Amino acid sequence: MKRIMVTGASGQIGTELVTRLREIYCTDQVIATDIKKLSTDEGSGPFEFLDVTDPQEMYDIANKYQVDTIIHLAALLSATAEAKPLLAWQLNMGGLLNALEVSKSLRCQLFTPSSIGVFGPTTPYSNTPQETIQRPTSMYGVSKVSGELLCDYYYNKFGVDTRGLRFPGIISYATPPGGGTTDYAVEIFYDASERGRYTSYISQGTFMDMIYMPDALEAIITLMEADASKLKHRNAFNVSAMSIDPEMIATEIRRHIPHFELAYQVDPLRQAIADSWPDAIDSTAAKEEWGFSVEYNLEKMTKDMLSQVSLKFVG
């Protein structure tokens, strides 16, 4: 990667990824794009307004900056997508198709994230393999499976260097949750720091894979810089750092905030989505093909999250 365009740059991943990429590749070489204006802190380098459903606009920006890599993050997340399924299909699939066409025309590398949402109730729940049954029951999952297949098609048919990760829930202190099923794992740290209690919309004993944002960012960069000849799966690597439920997070938080209280008020929509996902996925292919690894486990992540979140409430 030398000159990189990021779509959805003001989202949960994009906000922090743009900063990290500019640290590595130089500020002027990373072009942030989004349909809404970025904050002052994020706006220290090139920025362009972009509606990813407009193919000509996307092409014009990519061509203007002569980018060699597109990191396509613009999409609706799981719970929001289920509430607005038509919009989710139009944005998630339409935007991806445009990014693929631009990548084909300009011979760009393309990264787009997939998700554990591609799995469904017939998928093996424990140690979910890299290659397995994918029959999701949510529009978000349907769009992500379709995206994986579409990226495979553009690689096999047109030689577009497409790469992607099946992300689990991503935990971050920098950006507010954006409508994902795993958002509770971010909200719980904020409420613990501010109020000493949290009411979870996900039920006790519901295990889902998670990863801390610094590890997620490094996974993207490592995959994009990996030797293409060693990639067998390419567009949809399973990656995860931990499989946890709300009680496990609460227990770890109590090591720092002893009187923290956790209650439950289950949201049927998000719970149904969570119940259709695996308890834990197998990341072996990512480790073997391009060296995926993580720095943060639950203990280390909790300590850092509480430290960072508490700074937001100082003063």
- Report the distance separating Cα 25 and Cα 45, nearest Å: 12
Beta bridge mates, 170: 211
Q: What is the CA radius of gyration of the chain?
A: 19
Report which secondary-structure segment, H or E, holds 277. none
Residue of 65, 140, 155, 201 marked active site: 140
Q: Rounded to an integer, what distance in angstroms lies between the CA atom of residue 109 and that of residue 220?
A: 13
- 125 among known catalytic residues: no
Strands (E) across the chain are located at: 4-7, 30-34, 47-49, 69-72, 109-111, 114-115, 162-163, 165-167, 169-171, 197-200, 208-212, 237-238, 242-244, 261-264
Please give the single-letter amino acid code of residue 16: E
Catalytic residue numbers read 140
